[in-house]
């Protein structure tokens, strides 16, 4: 990034009225009584397993080679497969639908059941994307972000969210869920009135959604988490441990993005999130 580009991004008019020190607003709902949560170890850390797509055979090979059961197994099951990104009415993945690219048709619920029988827990990024932050089409602003987050916040996908909540409630055993991939990588593309503009493409980053003192992209991510978790609680789901995580390069790559897509703006609050992390 050149000095001129950095100066443009730091233009005081773009951040006029924005606060640089915030805390999560009061919760709209609270954890249900009797909620089952995955707890951190009293000492040390969990050594887990991660694969895309997941495979029971590969998981068993991992166990055999290490001589231990990984307590947490992480993978992805996105709301929408890549080929449907940007569609007005995309095909939505339920927990009873196979993982994309699974050679055996394995579903998240089937995998979670097998892991539970082993004493392990599935940690699933049930993720929504406005765009691919590594794609040159988005980075060069040749492709517009998808406005799915605004639609979710408007309630367009509530029936789908409730359907998935009921599936997980019926499963009954502990499961961990995150609703995005790396949250800061999405937040920088969700500015403007319709949530489809880049952090560096708007006249003011804080005054076109929600609280006029809060960066709009991170605020949308925060409200998205709260909206989905509120619906899960309305459905009586007690077996989800909610987690959220930043990208590996957060804090070291871009001083402007790291300020305005900072976790303080995105974090939904302790009543909503059980674990936080970084890729």
Q: Write a three-state SS string for 166-198.
A: HHHHHHCCCEEEECCCCHHHHHCCCECCCCCEC
Determine the pLDDT at residue 5: 41
User: Residues 28, 273, 76, 123: is their CA dihedral positive or negative?
Assistant: negative
Determine the pLDDT at residue 1: 40
- CA dihedral (119, 274, 154, 146) in degrees, to 10, reads -80
Determine the pLDDT at residue 145: 82
Determine the pLDDT at residue 185: 83
Q: How far apart are CA 68 and CA 251, in angstroms?
A: 34
Give the list of residues 6+ apart from residue 230 with CB closer than 8 angstroms, or none: 28, 29
Going by their DSSP bridges, the two strands 49-50 and 240-246 should be labelled as unpaired
Determine the pLDDT at residue 7: 38
Give the list of residues 6+ apart from residue 186 with CB closer than 8 angstroms, or none: 128, 129, 130, 131, 133, 180, 217, 221
**Structural domain spans, the chain:** 6-37+48-278
Going from the C-alpha of 47 to that of each of 38, 73, 192, 274, 275, the distances in angstroms are: 14, 9, 40, 18, 15
Q: How far apart are CA 185 and CA 61, in angstroms?
A: 33
Per-10-residue mean pLDDT, the chain, length 279: 42 91 94 95 92 93 94 96 84 96 95 96 95 74 84 97 99 97 87 91 94 96 98 98 86 72 93 93
Determine the pLDDT at residue 144: 79
Q: The pTM is what? A: 0.92
Give the list of residues 6+ apart from residue 107 with CB closer than 8 angstroms, or none: 95, 96, 97, 98, 99
Going by their DSSP bridges, the two strands 72-76 and 175-178 should be labelled as unpaired
Q: How far apart are CA 126 and CA 108, in angstroms?
A: 10
Q: How far apart are CA 131 and CA 196, in angstroms?
A: 10
Determine the pLDDT at residue 253: 61
Select from 3.20.20, 1.10.10, 1.10.3470, 3.40.50 the CATH code of 6-37+48-278: 3.20.20
- Contact indicator for 95, 168 with CB cutoff of 8 Å: yes
Determine the pLDDT at residue 133: 67
């Amino acid at each position: 990034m050149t000095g001129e580009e950095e100066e443009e991004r730091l233009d005081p008019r773009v951040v006029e009225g924005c606060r640089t020190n915030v805390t999560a607003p009061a919760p709209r709902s609270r954890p249900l009584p009797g909620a089952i949560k995955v707890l951190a170890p009293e000492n040390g850390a969990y050594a887990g397993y991660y694969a895309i797509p997941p495979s029971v055979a590969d998981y068993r090979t991992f166990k055999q080679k290490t001589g231990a059961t990984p307590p947490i197994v992480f993978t992805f099951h996105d709301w929408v497969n890549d080929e449907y990104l940007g569609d007005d009415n995309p095909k939505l993945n339920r927990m009873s639908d196979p993982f994309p690219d699974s050679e055996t048709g394995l579903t998240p619920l089937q995998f979670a059941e097998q892991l539970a029988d082993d004493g392990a827990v599935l940690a699933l990024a049930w993720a929504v994307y406005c765009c691919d932050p590594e794609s040159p089409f988005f980075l060069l602003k040749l492709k517009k972000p998808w406005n799915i987050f605004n639609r979710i916040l408007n309630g367009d996908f509530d029936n789908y969210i409730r359907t998935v909540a009921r599936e997980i409630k019926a499963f009954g055993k502990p499961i961990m869920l995150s609703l995005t991939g790396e949250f800061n990588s999405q937040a920088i593309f969700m500015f403007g009135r319709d949530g489809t503009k880049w952090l560096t493409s708007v006249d003011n980053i804080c005054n076109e959604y929600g609280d006029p003192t809060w960066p709009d992209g991170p605020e949308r991510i925060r409200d998205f988490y709260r909206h989905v978790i509120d619906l899960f609680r309305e459905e009586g789901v007690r077996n989800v441990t909610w987690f959220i995580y930043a990208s590996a390069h957060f804090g070291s790559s871009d001083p402007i993005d790291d300020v305005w897509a900072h976790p303080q703006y995105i974090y939904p609050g302790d009543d909503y999130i059980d674990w936080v992390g970084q890729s």
